[in-house]
Structure 1
């Protein structure tokens, strides 16, 4: 029995993609039934739901420890259920702190929420958060990279506390499959005081699934759906030794799907083993590995602006329009990495933690994309061919001493840290003209020209060293936090075509200060000020082009004030915040002369509201609203792709009793305000607002029969009513390039799984 949603629309003939999804799913189903029989025979009692360890941190002392259930989990070694974990965040302070006591805006997306919504990508996971401008490539195409904006700025991603490093051009960028994730945190506003180089918009922190303290557990799920989706996910773990001091976990996925564009699709294989040593002692070591292979991953192309946003002489192009060439199209990515996480507890007050990761990413990319219509024929699309081979080696480490001390009536939670990042990247790029495409009668199998010699051949080596300190002071209900950091960054890029090199070695101090007062009845007003810095690549001249130098980093600062309220004794949390961000030292292009000045300044002002409520264990509600205004002083216009805000609502209810006990249902809506898409030949481009609806259902089959204990089925639909909309547009009038990206079509999926 497989709940497989059929394709919503008639699919066009596809090229050879090698997606034998039916064979994979039908082979996986007997395996699932076989394992379920073995497990049911071996286990005597059902598990009560997956728990997760908050992590080894020093316990928070003082009055805050008695403020409701959220603080109760803020203790060393305590196990908490996933529904409670939504009130805890570690990204803002690098320690597990209740959100009600965090003087910064943070959104938490738990594994339970991702499962209920049927999340398959990071963009899908965070699109219900306030302040997020997600799916910069529309959502239906270009999913090979996790591209989104936060408070108007592109932001980095961190995995297990360490930055996910991409090549300088961004084509060799690793992507974390959501099946690996235990939770996602969206940290809003500058965070350089703890993380080093970062965007003024914030960051997105991902947490991997790690071994948990259970003797034997697992989950196998098969999924099928629209656009020939197939997916098999497996997650198995338990004790490797009788006493549980050594624990293991192994999870992986095999998946693939056709794109909503004609003749394109994606495939992926990923596997991640993890081991924890000394699980019940003062010193724990976790080793986590991952290997992921994407033999293909859709297309990066779009649709011409005239024919999508604006009506062309022939009307509008369909949502499955493809501007590329099937035999030429290629995206092949191999990524692998190994991570260690070491925690040691000296006593009840002092602890040490360190983590590090080495990863290797290799990408081969080829694509044909449109470069504008021919003036003489409005149906003929000029195209260009582009290709790049990129390879990066990355190292990252982060270590902290944490301690708890008391000075009279004031308690201090202190942290002293050191981190290091290193990258070595090679990039070879090719460019050539490609045959034009008749948009009304497209031919996707043309003869492409030889790419010839590379136009780009770089090697880049970079290093960052950071030292930081933080003190969280508590006096009665008042919490004051201060963070200070010094970074040393060095980068050298060698151009093997011109045989020239450029270097930069900036040093930057960043800091943060905040205050929060937590009233006994649950209200917590706060204010914070934080700064950031971000290295930039580019040539700068301050004297009209007579001399040049490497660009300095851009600088950011934010003032944020807000209020939070958590209903005492519950996980119902309401947050509201207003913010003002300034980014300076922004590069401003000087005409077409090939250099920049650093005279740019960007402002981002906005208001956000979020609500996360689980008033009962069988009801989950999330709501978010954001209004923002982003302005680039150099142009007097908004930043390209930045939206004016968003709004969302999602609710899911599981029947607690009766004949429908175990049946869950819910849905949500997502509203995106208009976005600025740049300057086209006719003037400013504004992407229209849109609203789409999602739906989810699920059923615990054990309510039908005790013999089905552990079995469940689920289904979800994104864009329930198949609304046609544009997710984004990018126009560069000076280059004659104007693209848009249609939003994700109705996409349905169904799954059957067994959990023990």
Structure 2
């Protein structure tokens, strides 16, 4: 493995510890020949997309669309590095975000269909390389594979001025692995809980001696069951990319992806009685499946795009990012009727065994094309240093849905399968959404001061075939100011707005979301230490939020408000100990779906030698959430107990090999992620053990 760092040779063991093996290994195109050899990286400037050693990234682009130090960004940003994902054994995006401040990463527990993430109490929009993944429901896209990513960036708070369309909570921007000039290759295998078997490969390097052409190929094949009976988690994936760099001023990276998942609905929508509340028949097990063995949720994604950059001179740079993606989701699954009598058994109120169930059979085909063009200028006017950004973006999503519904019942305590309902899918009117925006932003440095100001105008059109289009326009803005003290402290204050035209669902259009946030905080980077501390308080308001009192039933709310406090620290304590810690306090509006007021986590990984043999590392972390209840929909759900979850890793690494054992939820806590006021409960992820081996060549 080839990496650079200013730490000792023991850092060679850091590469990572997990099932997703030493991915960062491949991503680092720098100076070294063997994992044990360390090159001082202090003179090399970290970029917003480059590989990062350890858990602390210094730069990001998500908050500004420019390569900006986090210490100069007056808004809360969390970056999950490749090292962190590997060390913690992240097998999904919500796993990777489990130690991030302000984030509820398993809002609906284990779900094989989607990654359920909420930031500051709100659902978030997900981007890949700065371009939106999809509008609307989870059926518009597929789950992203962490093995394809270099980092995850969470921008907490509105991002409407830069991205145009988004909720008030913020965005999650995923940064893809990109071609590196230096040859780095690995293949790896995993075996684990629920019959997990996975093989993966990540290859990168130069195609020409001068490095003008370079490539990357990421591939993966997985067969696995899950904690729910009859629900698989199979995946096939290939993601090639090619970079052409004809000069130091110009680069073009072509990216493609093919991904096919075979899964099902692990979310059974089980009622309160029999899960969190008593039932005379006992408690339903986490593995209970109330559908039919032939149920499925299969998805396929094909995408192609590019990342282009050209520097005219030391002042002006132009960039264009483009992607077109086609997604198909074919689903047939049952879910329990916990809603007709919230939390109860409407089909069997006396015996409480026979559970009413719905059948949802649908085929969703989605095409999304998105492009973002911007020019960046770095120049001075007197004592002011400017980073000026001007851009235009456009996206268009088209979605075709054919859907059918059925009803039935099953004995949830002793299910007898084979009673297949036969439903015919009916094509719904095609929905189309178009978004166009113009934006202007200036980042100004004046001595120890850093300012940011931006303005954006959006025009959107959402329509349903056969109906009138819904046209909206809005102007959003952002302001921020930060003062960098010589001691390393940087207090700041910021204001930001959000606007998004909400995609039609089941043929129905909705009013756009509008939001605003005030945030004040402080960032601290102690001199000579690879540590970063962040603290923030915020007040955000949003109106026209969509609520889901029952599956496939959507309501819009008036104004909601959320206030909170977030504390986060990440980095290294000495040469051999990496740490992450956070505390989050969230005071939600009663109309918003509940989540814990208090959350906290701490993680540490230590590198060590045994009998003079280096390369060993061990890590442990605890994720804690306090008790809470859901009070949305003018109803009150049962109180969900708090829980503390233990995660562990043990790894050993040589020049060519890396072995790791990850155990998440090591004590196998049986807990609930949430129980909604509408009547259903969602189980959290049970213990998951993954052993991995990686060979580098």
Secondary structure of the 2:276 match is coil
Distance 1:201 1:250 in 2: 34
1:191 corresponds to: 159
Contact 1:574 / 1:610 at 8 angstroms: preserved in 2? yes
Secondary structure of the 1:193 match is helix
2:567 maps to which of 604, 609, 615 = 609
1:158 corresponds to: 127
Deviations 1:470-491 (A, max 9, x none): 1011111100100110001011
Distance change in 2, residues 1:669/1:280 (3 Å): farther
Superposition deviation, residue 669 in structure 1? 0.2
Contact 1:138 / 1:727 at 8 angstroms: preserved in 2? yes
Contact 1:366 / 1:387 at 8 angstroms: preserved in 2? yes
Distance change in 2, residues 1:297/1:49 (3 Å): farther
2:313 corresponds to: 347
Distance change in 2, residues 1:122/1:586 (3 Å): closer
2:102 corresponds to: 131
Superposition deviation, residue 657 in structure 1? 7.6
Contact 2:431 / 2:504 at 8 angstroms: preserved in 1? no
Contact 2:636 / 2:677 at 8 angstroms: preserved in 1? no
2:115 corresponds to: 146
Distance 2:402 2:268 in 1: 20
1:448 maps to which of 408, 411, 420 = 420
Distance 1:90 1:76 in 2: 6
Superposition deviation, residue 571 in structure 1? 2.3
Secondary structure of the 2:639 match is strand
Distance 2:38 2:401 in 1: 43
Superposition deviation, residue 616 in structure 1? 3.2
Distance 2:411 2:509 in 1: 43
Distance 1:274 1:132 in 2: 31
Shifted more, 295-304 versus 169-178: the winner is: 295-304
Contact 2:48 / 2:59 at 8 angstroms: preserved in 1? no
Superposition deviation, residue 451 in structure 1? 0.7
Contact 2:55 / 2:571 at 8 angstroms: preserved in 1? no
Contact 1:269 / 1:292 at 8 angstroms: preserved in 2? yes
Q: Does 2:174 align with 1:206?
A: yes
Contact 1:50 / 1:82 at 8 angstroms: preserved in 2? no
Runs of 5+ consecutive residues of structure 1 not aligned to the other structure: 1-31, 33-42, 54-68, 495-499, 540-548, 632-636, 703-708, 733-737
2:525 maps to which of 545, 551, 566 = 566
Distance change in 2, residues 1:588/1:640 (3 Å): closer
Q: Does 2:596 align with 1:655?
A: no
Superposition deviation, residue 317 in structure 1? 1.3
Distance change in 2, residues 1:341/1:677 (3 Å): same
Deviations 1:292-343 (A, max 9, x none): 011334533233221111011122111211121112x011111010120000
Distance 1:595 1:209 in 2: 37
Secondary structure of the 2:527 match is coil
Distance 1:80 1:448 in 2: 50
Superposition deviation, residue 48 in structure 1? 6.2
1:310 corresponds to: 277
Contact 1:361 / 1:391 at 8 angstroms: preserved in 2? yes
Distance 2:535 2:67 in 1: 21
1:236 maps to which of 190, 193, 203 = 203
Superposition deviation, residue 642 in structure 1? 2.9
Distance 1:715 1:590 in 2: 41
Distance change in 2, residues 1:279/1:75 (3 Å): farther
Distance change in 2, residues 1:422/1:681 (3 Å): closer
Contact 2:51 / 2:82 at 8 angstroms: preserved in 1? no
Superposition deviation, residue 440 in structure 1? 2.2
Distance 1:92 1:585 in 2: 25
Secondary structure of the 2:147 match is helix
Distance 1:49 1:603 in 2: 52
2:668 maps to which of 718, 722, 739 = 722
Q: Does 2:378 align with 1:407?
A: no
Deviations 1:626-651 (A, max 9, x none): 001111xxxxx251143313100000
Q: Does 2:464 align with 1:458?
A: no
Superposition deviation, residue 169 in structure 1? 4.3
Deviations 1:14-65 (A, max 9, x none): xxxxxxxxxxxxxxxxxx9xxxxxxxxxx994256899x9xxxxxxxxxxxx
Distance 1:336 1:538 in 2: 23
Deviations 1:60-111 (A, max 9, x none): xxxxxxxxx6x9726799x774338612221101112111111111111100
Distance 1:50 1:559 in 2: 44
Distance 1:152 1:731 in 2: 16
2:617 corresponds to: 664
Distance change in 2, residues 1:175/1:538 (3 Å): closer
Distance 1:396 1:50 in 2: 41
Secondary structure of the 1:397 match is strand
Contact 2:201 / 2:219 at 8 angstroms: preserved in 1? yes
Distance 1:80 1:463 in 2: 34
1:222 maps to which of 189, 192, 200 = 189
Secondary structure of the 1:375 match is coil
Distance change in 2, residues 1:720/1:638 (3 Å): farther
Secondary structure of the 1:398 match is strand
Q: Does 2:332 align with 1:366?
A: yes
Within a 5 Å distance, the mapping from 1:5-24 to structure 2 comes to: none
Distance change in 2, residues 1:44/1:741 (3 Å): closer
1:755 corresponds to: 696
Within a 5 Å distance, the mapping from 1:325-344 to structure 2 comes to: 325-327=292-294, 329-344=295-310
How many residue pairs were aligned?
655
What is the alpha-carbon root mean square deviation over aligned residues? 2.7
Within a 5 Å distance, the mapping from 1:4-403 to structure 2 comes to: 45-46=33-34, 73=45, 81-83=52-54, 86-139=57-110, 142-166=111-135, 168-214=136-182, 216-278=183-245, 280-327=247-294, 329-372=295-338, 373=345, 374-403=348-377
Secondary structure of the 1:377 match is coil
Superposition deviation, residue 585 in structure 1? 3.7
Distance change in 2, residues 1:683/1:243 (3 Å): closer
Distance change in 2, residues 1:298/1:232 (3 Å): farther
Distance change in 2, residues 1:76/1:491 (3 Å): closer
Distance change in 2, residues 1:689/1:350 (3 Å): same
